[in-house]
Structure 1
Amino acid sequence: MSKLQLLKQLLPGFLPIIVFIVVDEIWGTIYGLIVAISIGLIELIIEYIRNQKIERFILFDVGLIIALGLTSIALNNDLFFMLKPGIISLIMTGLIGFSIFSKHNLMLQMSQRYLKHINMNPYQIWLMQQSMKRLFWLLLVYSLATIASSFLENTAIWKFLGSAGLFVVMGIFLAWEWWSKKRQNQQLKNEEWLPLVDDAGRIIGSAPRSHVHNHSFLLHPVVHLHVVNDKGQILLQKRPINKLIQAGKWDTAVGGHVASGESIELALQRETHEEIGLQQFNAQAIKQYIWTSEVEKELVFVFKTQHKGPFQIDTNEVDEVRFWSVDEINSQLRKGIFTPNFEYEFEHFKTMLI
């Protein structure tokens, strides 16, 4: 979508507040309210004719204008007039903060209303949230500085902050975001991208591996293979001490991410060959479940196979492997020997494994 098309999508939502600000400056708050509310009501009627429903975000737009206008009328003296730019900015900052730090992302919902033809995948939404967090803290500092400048004897700072200041702040923010995005694209140029899925396993996007493991909690698919021998013992791998997550602990025999464009079955074959050297084996699907750790969120596809070895490990991925009896595992549960993920699978799927 071009910038012109984007502007056309956004303009209906911003038009009432833009008109209010312009008319308020020229003819006063009352006229600004009348014109802005009229435009908002016209938009409301047009939206109802098109979709046969009342658009709640248009109601919110109009309600915000009424609240700001009545506040300006009620607090009609020099100090309150000077406080108005900071108060308006603080209200918008609060709206952004509520969207970021609660489960109800109003800003995302409003953007989806104005950008109906743009579909955002989970990674794009996460990037938007990170950007909004930075904008929140920047606007919070700006809003508090603008309010504080209202109490200064020298009004030069207030005149700057209350007029051109917001444009300067937004200009700095947009320039930083552009530079940061450009630098990030260079860093991610050669990085592995992983598929993102919904709860049912349908692919809905992709994201860089580093971002998936960086507390974004973007749901991505992984495969686990439990290897059991004819004695009912379970093969476990010991994770290298240099691993970022659960270093030095015993884990499922095979575990790894599904690569972009790769099926679950192919990922299982590849990871099994890479980690323990098996190429010919028959895998049986056991279960799939969502696992959330301290740094990531995974949709885990669990399989099992019967095999007694020998195994050829990749020392970059695995320190060692060995078979454990069920009694051995039971005696060491919840002592920090195993990864929490393995303990969950052992306790929930034990009857299906043995």
Structure 2
Amino acid sequence: MDELVDILDESGAHTGKSCLKSEAHLKGLFHPTAHIWFYTSDGKILFQKRGKDKKTFPLLWDVSVAGHIGAGEDIIEAAIREIEEEINLQISLSDLDKIGVFKSIQKHSETLLDKEFHHTFLCKLKVPLSALSKQESEVEDLALFQLVDFKSKLNSGELEGFVPHLPSYYHKIITELELRT
């Protein structure tokens, strides 16, 4: 879905401009996204397998929930909206724990340069996996992975099948999750 997004500068500050997401990707303009990582009290992380029709990284395992923040949209409201859309789960503001904003640049093709600032949150998963329902157009599958197994894969450089986020990003997620589980 093409939507209006706010345009950010190289440091993540708002420029006061907005454009369609497709234009931001075509021109390589920075824009904000929300990333929400769900975890369980017994040390598991929820991953989503991206939909087969996604333009970027189809059928790779990725952050539990992620999406673009609409132009003028509050970051927290965008995160809550994305969670409801992608996994049909309702949470409250107090469930979200913001751990940082991460700059990401991914060149997928000559016409798709993704330059984003990921506003990243952790959220404890308080329902069983079976209670979640995936958004068919966005999410192919949902699965819980043991944090220790994912950390081992990351440390050994064996992340085949996962979206190639920067190792520093994944390490930050793991560090923050280890503090909570």
Query: What TM-score results when the alignment is normalised by the length of structure 2?
Result: 0.83
In structure 2, C-alpha distance between the alignment counterparts of 1:323 and 1:249, rounded to whole Å: 14
| 8 A Cα contact 1:201 1:299, kept in partner | no
Query: SS of 1:345's equivalent?
Result: helix
Q: Which runs of 4+ in 1 moved over 6 A?
A: none
1:279 aligns with 2:67: no
Once the 2 structures are TM-superposed, how far is the Cα of residue 331 of structure 1 from its aligned partner?
4.3
One-letter identity of the residue aligned with 1:347 = H
Match of 1:324 among 145, 155, 158: 145
Count of matched residue pairs: 164
Matches within 5 A, 1:261-280: 261-280=72-91
In structure 1, C-alpha distance between the alignment counterparts of 2:5 and 2:172, rounded to whole Å: 27
Once the 2 structures are TM-superposed, how far is the Cα of residue 311 of structure 1 from its aligned partner?
1.2
1:288 aligns with 2:101: yes
In structure 1, C-alpha distance between the alignment counterparts of 2:39 and 2:134, rounded to whole Å: 17
Summarize deviations over 1:186-237 as a string: whole Å, max 9, x none.
Answer: xxxx9522111232443521111111122x2201000000000110110000
Match of 2:161 among 321, 337, 353: 337
Matches within 5 A, 1:186-201: 191-198=2-9, 199-201=11-13
| 8 A Cα contact 1:226 1:353, kept in partner | no
Match of 2:118 among 291, 300, 305: 300
Match of 1:257 among 60, 68, 82: 68
1:311 aligns with 2:132: yes
One-letter identity of the residue aligned with 2:66 = G
Once the 2 structures are TM-superposed, how far is the Cα of residue 274 of structure 1 from its aligned partner?
0.3
Structure with max Cα Rg? 1
Query: SS of 2:36's equivalent?
Result: strand
One-letter identity of the residue aligned with 2:106 = S
| 8 A Cα contact 1:240 1:316, kept in partner | yes
Structure in which a larger fraction of residues adopt helix: 1
Aligned to 1:346: 170
Query: SS of 2:165's equivalent?
Result: helix
**Which structure has the higher relative contact order (CA within 8 Å, separation 6+)?**
2
One-letter identity of the residue aligned with 1:320 = D
Aligned to 1:230: 41
Distance 1:228 1:200, change over 3 A: same
One-letter identity of the residue aligned with 1:324 = F
Summarize deviations over 1:37-57 as a string: whole Å, max 9, x none.
Answer: xxxxxxxxxxxxxxxxxxxxx
In structure 2, C-alpha distance between the alignment counterparts of 1:193 and 1:233, rounded to whole Å: 34
One-letter identity of the residue aligned with 1:291 = S
One-letter identity of the residue aligned with 1:236 = F
One-letter identity of the residue aligned with 2:105 = T
Identity %: 27
Matches within 5 A, 1:49-198: 191-198=2-9
Q: Please give the root-mean-square deviation of Cα atoms over the aligned residues, in Å.
A: 1.9
One-letter identity of the residue aligned with 2:148 = D
Q: Could you list the runs of 5+ residues in structure 1 that have no partner in the other structure?
A: 1-189
Once the 2 structures are TM-superposed, how far is the Cα of residue 246 of structure 1 from its aligned partner?
0.7
One-letter identity of the residue aligned with 2:162 = F
| 8 A Cα contact 2:98 2:120, kept in partner | yes
One-letter identity of the residue aligned with 1:296 = D
In structure 2, C-alpha distance between the alignment counterparts of 1:191 and 1:323, rounded to whole Å: 30
